[in-house]
Amino acid sequence: MRLEADGKTARLIDGSYTIPKFSQLLQENSYPSVDEVANKLADKFSWTICPSENHALNLIGLSTQVPSKYVFVSDGAYRTYEYRGREIIFKHTSNRFITIKSV
């Protein structure tokens, strides 16, 4: 808590912190992307995740619109997190629909 007050760490979401990196280009601190935060959450809970819906379309280049809700399918529980004004949504599905080996 003191490290956060001193500016040495920054809270991403409850229970996840980062050391802010100053960007010379932007002249402000830069933070991890939504995908990096989602992957760290998946590692924390031992989930397998895969982007879904509009987020997946944006990642593969079929859409140029940047979503405000990042939806991932996972083999974990249904969860929603708020990160820097965007929602990270995890929807439960069977693991066989997520892994590459299932194709």
The dihedral over CA atoms of 36, 88, 30, 16, expressed in degrees to the nearest 10, equals: -70
Q: What confidence score (pLDDT) does residue 102 get?
A: 44
In this predicted structure, the answer to whether residue 76 has a pLDDT above a threshold of 50 is yes
Tokens describing residue 57: 């379309």
The 10s digit of each residue's pLDDT in 11-54 is 888 888 888 888 888 888 888 999 999 999 999 999 999 998 88
Q: What confidence score (pLDDT) does residue 66 get?
A: 85
Q: What percent of the chain has pLDDT over 70?
A: 94
- What is the C-alpha separation between 70 and 38, in angstroms, rounded? 9
- What is the C-alpha separation between 18 and 11, in angstroms, rounded? 7
Q: What is the pTM of this model?
A: 0.82
In this predicted structure, the answer to whether residue 91 has a pLDDT above a threshold of 90 is yes
Q: What confidence score (pLDDT) does residue 1 get?
A: 65
Contacts of range 15-19, beta carbons closer than 8 Å, 24 or more positions apart:
15/44, 16/40, 16/41, 16/44
Is 9:17 a contact under the CB 8 Å cutoff?
Answer: yes
In this predicted structure, the answer to whether residue 100 has a pLDDT above a threshold of 80 is no
